[in-house]
Amino acid sequence: MTLDRYGEEAEAGRVLNAPHDPRCRSGWLGEDLDGRPVPCLQCRPHLARTADVNDCSKR
């Protein structure tokens, strides 16, 4: 069993020694066209998850 950097079991399909993006600076790849920071998903895999929307309002 291989553990990731958070101590959890590493995913089977994920390559641990994949080539790293040369634009990565401290886990960030720069900014998009609107000026928002773009995360390096290899350094910050927790940011790959999309936000859950719970829209339970009555319409």
∠ CA 50-51-54, nearest 5°, is 135
For residue 48, pLDDT beyond 70? yes
> Which sign, positive or negative, has the C-alpha torsion 28, 34, 35, 36?
negative
Domain membership flag for residue 1:
no
Domain membership flag for residue 40:
yes
For residue 46, pLDDT beyond 70? yes
Average pLDDT over residues 10-36: 80
Say how many domains are in the chain. 1
More confident residue, 23 or 11: 23
* Domain assignment of residue 42, given as a range: 20-47
Three-state helix/strand/coil letters over 13-42 = CCCCCCCCCCCCECCEEEECCCCCEEECCC
Domain membership flag for residue 29:
yes
Domain membership flag for residue 6:
no
Give Cα 17 to chain centroid, integer Å. 16
